[in-house]
Structure formats: C-alpha cells, structure tokens
Copies of this chain bind each other. A is one copy, B any other.
Amino acid sequence: MHINDIKSFVPPVRTLMGPGPSDVHPRVSQAMARPTIGHLDPAFVDMMDELKVLLQYAFQTKNALTIPVSAPGSAGMECCFVNLVEPGDKVIICQNGVFGGRMKENVERCGGIPIMVVDEWGIAVDANKLEDALKANTDANIVAFVHAETSTGVQSDAKTLCEIARRHDCLTIVDTVTSLGGTPVKVDEWQIDAIYSGSQKCLSCTPGLSPVSFSERAIEKIKGRQSKVQSWFLDLNLVMGYWGSGTKRAYHHTAPINALYGLHEALVILKEEGLENAWARHETNHQGFRAGIEAIGLSFKVKESDRLPQLNAITVPEGVDEAEVRKRLLNEYHLEIGAGLGSLAGKIWRIGLMGYASRTKNVLYCLGAMTEILSDMA
C-alpha cells in the first residue's frame, strides 16, 4: 500500500449484531462529534460529575468510586485486578468461557494465585462448585467470575455467587461487559465489590471505555495495599484524584473527552428509557428473535434458563458452512454476526441484540437474511 493512495476513511454502514460492538445510537455518534474542550475545563468537570451519577444509576449503586476507565473493557478488567490483587493473594475464578481465562492471566500477572473452578462452555457457573472451592481454600480472599459470558451467551447467577463469596469473607470481581444495560445488574443489592463493563454492548455506545465501580470494602483493600499498584495508568489511588468529588481535580491523564461525551449521551438515553424498560426491551426482542429462529428450524446452544437475551448462541446446523453464512450476511446484507470462540468455534453463531441493536427492525432483518441465505445454501 502506498501512502499517497490513502484517503479519508468512509466506513460501510453495517447492522451490528455480533458480540459487540453493537449498533451505536445516532444521538451518541452526534455527541462524539461535539467540540472538544479541556479535561480540566469547569464545564467538563460538571459533565464528569453527571457521568458518575448516570453510571451509578446504570450499575444500581451508591458507590462513590463509579467512573469510566479511559480504555476498553479489557483495561477495566485489568483495573479491577491490579488494584485488588496483591502478590500472594489467592483468587478463585469461576470459568465457563473465554473471559474467565483472561481473568486467570490477570491474576497471574499481579503475582496472585488463581484457583480455577471450571464449568463447561455453554452452561452457567455452578454455585456448588464455588462453595466447595471456598471450603477447600479458606485462605482465598477474592472471587471473580463473568456475569454474562460473551463467548457463549450464558448468564450466571451473580447474586448467589456474590452471596457465597461474601459468606466466606471474599471480595468479588464481576465482569458485566455484556450484561450492563441489557439484563439486571444490581451492585448494591448483590453487594458486588468490584465490577467492570464496556461501553459498546448494551449501552449503545462506541467501544473504548470501561465503566467500573468499587465498594467501600474494595477501596479499603486498595488503600491498605502493602505494594504499589503495578499499573500507573490504572492506579485508582491516582485516578480517584482526578475523578474524585470536590472542585480540585488533580491531573492524572488526559481524559478521552469526546468518547466521554458519547458515553454521557448513551447513559442519558438509558435514563430516559428507564433501566427496567431497557431490560424488558432486551427480553422482548430476544423472545421475538427466538420464535423466528425456532420457526426456521434452528436451535439455541444454551438451555433456556441460562440464556442471555442480548447474546444468542445459535447452533450451526450440520453440513452448513458457518463462515460462509457470516460472510454472505456481511457482504450481501451488511449485517455482522459473530463466530464461536475456543471450543465453540465453528459450532455456534453469536447473534447480539444489544442496546440500540435490540429492536424489532434488527430482529426481523436478521431473521429474513438468515432465512434467505440458508434456503439458498440448502
């Protein structure tokens, strides 16, 4: 490629029904194009305060430390682990998909000791196994799990898992990248200690930011650390100085101003709709999609009680070239759906109905396009 051939990039207009990013609300795109202002501008600081209130609403928490990390969900995950895990800490990780494995990587890189509690990909985390692991490891001090496994479309019972962890005096780290805004996430009621999510799934925002929230118990642990947090960029002791309350903000890093405009707008939209209404919409569109999927003879990989309404794992029928279907959807319909990952590669499609993508138009479009392609290939 020669540099002189490079022009302004004008992307194709897609319908995003993969595992994320999902369709961005047009109001969010508009917000991101608004004039950039300084990261210490009083107008921006007011916006940050609003953003915290809006995120507290989305997470259903009064936690003061509720902010967006200035980087994607993977950095939000790392923010939780590097701040809470000290060398030698024993962390029980319930794994039932890709992202539990990433948690293990995080714990190891913090010098912690991961204890894996493994469930099959495609089923929910088994609470009894967690209970057993905690009984066998009385010195564990953190439990981590994924609420909504993006790699499989499975939802686990966060409330019960947190209750068990707390009973064994462990802090909890919960991944809600794919659940926040799509299905109930109740930080205070479930007493979650550290939680992270992503902007690009059920919040209808662009990718690049990771909302996080930390309980008082978590903050106590962070403030009482023996060792410094290994990441300067993600050290909450420093980040709190910038996002903290009060008019005096200590410069830490330059916030991604326009991305934060987008997240602010996405959360205003969520508030206007109402969180419960957003959850109900995701459920309704999932049921509509499900009826259509079953009508065309396809089936779900995940059993009904464990299904995430916003991320549908559909079993690829025997003899169908799953990659070809995705390719045709993209090329002929500008419609993106996702492939399976890891042990489910080639076996499932992952079809997202998240955020602004969770609407009747997308449900019917996807069903129509899949029907046409599968008939054509039969």
On A, residues with C-beta under 8 Å from B are: 1, 3, 6-14, 16, 18, 20-21, 23-24, 27, 29-39, 41-44, 47, 49-50, 53-54, 57, 70-75, 78, 82, 102, 105-106, 108-110, 198, 200, 206-208, 228-233, 251-259, 261-262, 264-265, 268, 271, 330, 336, 341
Bound CA span A102–B251, Å: 12
Taking the closest CB of chain B, its distance from the CB of A54, in whole angstroms, is 6
CB contacts (< 8 Å) of A23 on chain B: these are: 36
Check A253–B74 contact: CB distance below 8 A.
yes
Known: A233-B71, A252-B74, A254-B73. A261 touches B16 (CB 8 A): no
A11 CB contact (under 8 Å) in B37, B57, B228? B37
Name A's interface SS. loop
Bound CA span A59–B105, Å: 33
A232 CB contact (under 8 Å) in B16, B78, B265? B78
CB contacts (< 8 Å) of A49 on chain B: these are: 1
Q: Which residue on chain B has the smallest CB distance to residue A11?
A: B37
Taking the closest CB of chain B, its distance from the CB of A329, in whole angstroms, is 12
Taking the closest CB of chain B, its distance from the CB of A324, in whole angstroms, is 15
CB contacts (< 8 Å) of A21 on chain B: these are: 36, 38-39, 254, 257
Q: Which residue on chain B has the smallest CB distance to residue A57?
A: B3
Bound CA span A20–B41, Å: 12
Taking the closest CB of chain B, its distance from the CB of A8, in whole angstroms, is 6
Bound CA span A73–B54, Å: 27
Q: Which residue on chain B has the smallest CB distance to residue A105?
A: B232
CB contacts (< 8 Å) of A262 on chain B: these are: 258
Bound CA span A166–B126, Å: 56
A72 CB contact (under 8 Å) in B7, B255, B264? B255
A207 CB contact (under 8 Å) in B73, B198, B228, B256? B256
CB contacts (< 8 Å) of A208 on chain B: these are: 70, 208, 255-259
Check A261–B11 contact: CB distance below 8 A.
yes
A12 CB contact (under 8 Å) in B43, B73, B102? B43
13 contacts between A and B (CB under 8 A): A8-B265, A9-B268, A11-B47, A16-B37, A32-B33, A37-B336, A70-B208, A72-B256, A75-B253, A78-B232, A78-B233, A108-B228, A259-B259
CB contacts (< 8 Å) of A11 on chain B: these are: 34-37, 43-44, 47, 261
Taking the closest CB of chain B, its distance from the CB of A273, in whole angstroms, is 13
